[in-house]
Amino acid sequence: MKPLFGWILAAAVLAAMAGAPFIVSGYTLGLLLGMTGYITLASAWGLFSGRTGYVSLATAAFFGIGAYTVAVLSETLPYPLVLLTAAFIGLIVALVVGLATLRLAGVYFVIFTFGLAELVRQLVTWYETTITGTLGRYIFLPLGPEHIYWQLLALCAGTLAITWWIGRSRLGLALRVMADDEVVASHIGIDIARTKLALFAISSVVITLVGAIQAPRWTYVEPGIVFNPQVSFLTLIMALLGGATRTWGPVVGAIPLFLLFEWLSANFPNHYSILIGLLFILIVFALPKGVVSAAEGLLRRHRKANSAPSVTAEEVRS
């Protein structure tokens, strides 16, 4: 009964969000659009990093690849084919990067993924200035904010569904064994490298599509805009706050933090980066496993305390 109620509730929320463009203002729709984008980014990040323990800062790289693919191909190919091309390019880059780096561990993987975004940005900048003689491109597509929002909402729902399915599949079981002990996992026949590569590829394709879908919103795109490292750090903070190992954790973290970041950028533009850094430190120390895990722990302790057998005075005297 509980799973059925959960599915009905999720369908009702999705339907309500899909109908939002018909009743909200343009400003509110812009907030919903940005929020949905970051929920999808955080969920895709948690799909890989939350389940493998590999902290990836390559979000900006794949996000930018998707956006720039749309900028380059939007005038020559139909829009659906442009999105498919962006997803394919993101998949190829993810497979190459994954095969080369997923054997790295700890800080080495973090450094490489952080440098990947800068490397791609510099390559695109060199190509634009040297080959095309320009820096930046215009995107003219007949897409309003409501069309972009609906695409992001569908991608977000698909990402959450994939995350839920993986958690209940053999792949999810393999990931739980790997999280406990990779040596044991390898001894019982789990292909650790292939499992990590599959998750990294799925996560990267979703992130690439988020960048591709959001690209028409800006009209003008240049490397400094779409390969912004801030995208990687904001996505990471949101996923960590909610709990990257839980299906709904990134959603719980992304919604309040996106609204907070919007308020901070509007009211404290000169101190925005400092405040984000302080917030990141606070989240890491106060909620290392996220809000969802902390809430589940409190609920378990509360149930255990209420279910403890009471001791009568006669039992104490005896």
The pLDDT, as a whole number, for residue 80 is 94
- 272-309 burial, b for 16+ CB within 10 Å, e for fewer? eeeebeebbeebeeebeebbbbeeeeeeeeeeeeeeee
The pLDDT, as a whole number, for residue 318 is 47
pLDDT in tens, 240-253: 888 877 888 888 88
In this structure, what are the phi and psi dihedrals at residue 240, rounded to the nearest 5 degrees?
Answer: -70, -40
The pLDDT, as a whole number, for residue 23 is 93
- 188-210 burial, b for 16+ CB within 10 Å, e for fewer? eebebeebbbbbbbbbbbbbbbb
The pLDDT, as a whole number, for residue 300 is 60
Percent of the chain with pLDDT over 70: 86
The pLDDT, as a whole number, for residue 65 is 95
Below-70 pLDDT ranges, the chain: 1-6, 105-106, 180-181, 287-318
pTM of the shown model: 0.87
The pLDDT, as a whole number, for residue 219 is 86
- The Cα 86–Cα 139 span in angstroms is 15
> What's the one-letter identity of residue 22?
F
Judge contact between 43 and 250, C-beta under 8 A: yes
